[in-house]
Amino acid sequence: MTREELWQAALAQIQFKISPANFATWFRSTYILSKKEGELVISAPNNFSKEWLENKYNKILFQALHGLDLEIKRIKYTVERSAGKQRDAASSRPMAMPQESQLEFQELKVDRSTSLNPRYTFDNFVVAPFNELAHAASLAIVKDPGTVYNPLFVYGGTGLGKTHLLQAIGNKIVGDVPQKKLKYISSERFTSSVVSAIRNHTTDALRSMFRDLDVLIVDDVQFLTGKDKTQEELFHTFNALYEAGKQIIFSSDRPPKAIPALEERLRSRFEGGMIADISMPDFETRLAILRSKMQEKVVSLDDEICEYVASHIQRNIRELEGALNRLAAFIQLNGKSPTFADAKTLLRSVIQNPSKMVNHKKIIAAVAEFYDIKEKEIIATSRKKEVVRPRQIAMYLLREELKGSYPFIGQKFGGKDHTTAIYACEKITKELQQSETLVDEIALIRQRIYSG
């Protein structure tokens, strides 16, 4: 078996063990670089994929490869940039037209009894460090609803995948066991059902409908703020279901503690099970998600355009998809891929005011100006105290403001190692807890970054 054949055979097995989205994301442009004396070296397209393969997929990779070739005893991972690029170009498919809008079509197919939308599945959900915990908790629940984490409370900013994840849980549970009675409901919808039941004197019917469920999913509970009657109804529904061992899942854009005007007893129910957050994806993850969506929609775009989109849309996966839809529509209309200039024009309204966008250069410039040192000194390797500290602060801000991965941060500071970035971020985070002065300094620097 050649290396190529071995790799294809291993990938064929792995493909069945993980979701298509994760497969496309993490195994894209990988190959076996070398194999000798029981040691196999796999090449990944970037540091981020490499770390992810190493930490998450080493076990299944080893099983597959060792199963195919007993001589293989160890796997190593590396990033072989130039070779990777060449392969990419060779393997990238010819330009394709987008399929007819799958998304809009499926939007109409919301199930009447569960209110689930079939388009949200685990298969098209990309898992990366920013959502890994919430994803793992969700999988545990699917396996054994009502027992492991009850309730599950998922929180995170807008457009970062809460609804997708909650509905994926629902779709998987009823897909596996169709007899399960499951309901997905938004908090607004829940509120209006309660209000109209009260008005029509049908609260008993509403109660028994909810209490008959095996799984109840309530999305966006932050909207229950100040709605006393609805909160009371939810509290009693929760208790009835919980005592009967039924699974309850909530989402919110913030943790329970931070939801204002929420009855204490409901808050403590929210906090009584597992709380999992979805944070923000870093640059490489945004790029990976974009590529996975491109594959889904059968759209191909230049790397330059992908990187432009992933670096400018930072806080919201929905907007990332929106940008891609625009580019896909262009391809459909024109029968060709947009040039980089076309793409910029097309995305002007999505990517508002690029001059206001924060990037690593702006952050470094603001820090340098604040501490009255030269930008060059921040990037260089000098260990002078007047420079080291601002450099650490700048690294910390790249992490916080851009959600840059550690290798990315290291690279922007003259190619330093990712461990240097980790050390800097941890140090500043710790100091921030002890030093009011530092809190103020960083607040001032942030102001400069965003006003500059």
Q: Contact positions toward ligand ADP, by CB under 6 A?
A: 124-126, 131, 156, 158-164, 289, 317-318, 321
Query: Smaller CB distance to ligand ADP: residue 131 or 138?
Result: 131
Longest CA pairwise span in the chain (Å): 77
Provide the mask over 154-173, with x wherever binding to Mg ion is found by CB under 5 A and - wherever it is not: --------xx----------
Q: Indicate the DSSP class of residue 142.
A: H
C-beta separation of 228 from 263 below 8 A: yes
318 binds, among Mg ion, ligand ADP, none (CB under 5 to 8 A by kind): ligand ADP
Residue 72 three-state SS: coil
Neighbour count for residue 103 (Cβ, 10 Å): 12
Query: Smaller CB distance to ligand ADP: residue 289 or 378?
Result: 289
Neighbour count for residue 272 (Cβ, 10 Å): 15
Least distance in angstroms from the C-beta of 188 to Mg ion: 11
409 binds, among ligand ADP, Mg ion, none (CB under 5 to 8 A by kind): none
164 binds, among ligand ADP, Mg ion, none (CB under 5 to 8 A by kind): ligand ADP
Query: Smaller CB distance to ligand ADP: residue 49 or 124?
Result: 124
Burial class (CB in 10 A: 0-12, 13-18, 19+), 358: middle
Backbone angles phi, psi at 68, to 5 degrees: -85, -30
- Percent helix, strand and coil across the chain, each to the nearest 5: 60, 10, 30
Q: Which residue is nearest to Mg ion (CB)?
A: 163
- For 297-372, strand residue ranges (E) read none
Query: Smaller CB distance to ligand ADP: residue 122 or 408?
Result: 122
Q: Indicate the DSSP class of residue 221.
A: G
Least distance in angstroms from the C-beta of 279 to Mg ion: 16
Least distance in angstroms from the C-beta of 160 to ligand ADP: 5
125 binds, among ligand ADP, Mg ion, none (CB under 5 to 8 A by kind): ligand ADP
What value, to the nearest 5°, has the Cα angle with vertex 30 and ends 26 and 34?
140
Least distance in angstroms from the C-beta of 172 to Mg ion: 18
Q: Which residue is nearest to ligand ADP (CB)?
A: 161
Query: Smaller CB distance to Mg ion: residue 138 or 163?
Result: 163
User: Which residues sit at the interface with Mg ion, rule CB under 5 A?
Assistant: 162-163
